[in-house]
Amino acid sequence: MAYVTGSAANFGDLKTAIEVAAVGAGWTLADGVLTKGAANFKLEVLTSTRDYLALSAGTGKSGSDLTGANTRKLVFRDNASGHTFAFPIAYHIAAFESPDEVYVSINYNTDFWQHFMFGISSRNDIGNGFYMFGTGNDNQVTATYQASISISGTGGFSFSSTNKFTPMFGGTTSNLTSNGATGFINCNIGSGDEWYNLIAPVQSLCKVLASLPNAFSADEMILPVKLLVAMPAPNTSYAHCLGILNNARLLRNDNRSDGEVITVGEANWKTYPSIAKNAGARNGGGNVLHCGTFGFAVRYDGA
């Protein structure tokens, strides 16, 4: 893997840093499009009141244009209502090969984070199998920067994402419209390669996440991030599991600082809050500017 951190004076600098890291991990950059196999990803600095960085994906390219593109883009943005930031910002990029996964996190206003990642499944039985996850999409560029998160012993999780930002790998099956989704996969699950919205990985692990950290030892587990797609009607309450991310895990970060590196077995993992950590309201809340103690970790080689 390659891990790089630095400071970006604008979204153009961040775009370049991501592209350089991806090329170093074996992606080809031509006409502004990153390509590997059937996967094509494009980074663009766009404008809606203020600049934002958008990540789009397609099954092919024609010059600098994507073909077979997903209808939604993932975004980093600084023009949210009541929530802006000033450059420079800090970034963290981790790029992996076999399987191909690229993780990008930005840190600003001291405690706040936004994330996205893109990758290609190591499975060879699901068609194209490339995907992306993030904390916001281009429908949310001018929306209020908030999250609605709740957790209970009986009801499980409820992550609201429509017109808001979403904790990384968050969301629910009820928010899988193209306007609210922040995870997408292009794959073949029986009818040819198509775009599907990804169900939030936290949904399959809600009861485990609710019980962490361990009340006896204050320790936490790191949990797998599954690629889940809803089954066709009438079985939409069930999901296909199309794989597990090799280089990311879910966790509760009650006892972890932002960016802290933890060791589990023989692997090191760098931990991140999904939006902004708030240990005082660890299970989130309605229309809040934090994610409680919901976070994730990315494999880290110490370089």
Which range is most confident: 94-103, 207-216, 281-290? 94-103
pLDDT, mean of residues 209-233: 81
Residue 27's pLDDT band, with cuts at 50, 70 and 90, is very high
Mean pLDDT over each residue of the chain, to the nearest integer: 88
pLDDT, mean of residues 174-195: 83
pLDDT of 154 higher than 60: no
pLDDT of 18 higher than 70: yes
Residue 296's pLDDT band, with cuts at 50, 70 and 90, is very high
Find tokens 């499980």 and name the residue.
156
pLDDT, mean of residues 151-157: 62
pLDDT of 172 higher than 60: no
Burial class, 105, CB count within 10 angstroms (exposed 0-12 / middle 13-18 / buried 19+): buried
Structure tokens at 20: 């350089």
Structure tokens at 241: 């599991």
Domain boundaries, the chain: 2-300
Contact predicate 134/183, CB 8 Å: yes
Contact predicate 171/180, CB 8 Å: yes
pLDDT in tens, 91-142: 999 999 999 999 999 999 999 999 999 999 999 899 999 999 998 888 888 7
Find tokens 């808001």 and name the residue.
164
Q: CA 131 to CA 137: how far, in whole Å?
A: 14
Residue 26's pLDDT band, with cuts at 50, 70 and 90, is very high
The pLDDT score that the predictor gives to residue 236 is 72
The pLDDT score that the predictor gives to residue 62 is 97
pLDDT, mean of residues 185-204: 87
The pLDDT score that the predictor gives to residue 153 is 58
Q: CA 148 to CA 166: how far, in whole Å?
A: 8
Structure tokens at 63: 């010059």
Residue 262's pLDDT band, with cuts at 50, 70 and 90, is very high
Of the candidate ranges 155-164, 230-239, 270-279, the one whose mean pLDDT is the lowest: 155-164
Can you give the three-state secondary structure of the chain, one letter per residue? CEEEEEEECCHHHHHHHHHHHHHHCCCEEECCEEEECCEEEEEEEEEECEEEEEEEEECEEECCEEECCCCCCEEEECEEECEECCCCEEEEEEEECCCCEEEEEEEECCCEEEEEEEEECCCCCCCCCEEEEECCEHHHCCCECCEEEEEECCCEEEEECCCCCCCCCCCCHHHCCCCCCCEEEEEECCCCEEEEECECHHHHHHHHHHCCCCCCCCCCCCEEEEEEEECCCCCCCCEEEEEEEEEEEEEECCCCCCCCEEEECCEEEEEEECCCCCHHHCCCCCCECCCCCEEEEEEECCC
Residue 144's pLDDT band, with cuts at 50, 70 and 90, is confident
pLDDT in tens, 39-88: 999 999 999 888 899 999 999 999 999 999 999 999 998 876 668 888 99
Q: CA 5 to CA 141: how far, in whole Å?
A: 25
The pLDDT score that the predictor gives to residue 156 is 63
* pTM for this model (two decimals): 0.94
Q: Which residue has better confidence, 245 or 164?
A: 245
Long-range contacts of 119-123 (CB under 8 A, 24+ apart): 119/245, 120/36, 120/37, 120/39, 121/185, 121/187, 121/227, 121/242, 121/243, 122/98, 122/243, 122/246, 123/242, 123/243
Structure tokens at 119: 């990758």
Residue 200's pLDDT band, with cuts at 50, 70 and 90, is confident
pLDDT of 302 higher than 90: no
Q: CA 179 to CA 176: how far, in whole Å?
A: 8
Among 195, 194, 142, 134, which Cα is nearest to 170's?
Answer: 134
CA distances from 211 to 98, 156, 208 (A): 33, 11, 5
What share of the chain has pLDDT > 70, as a percent? 91
CA-based diameter of the chain, in Å? 58
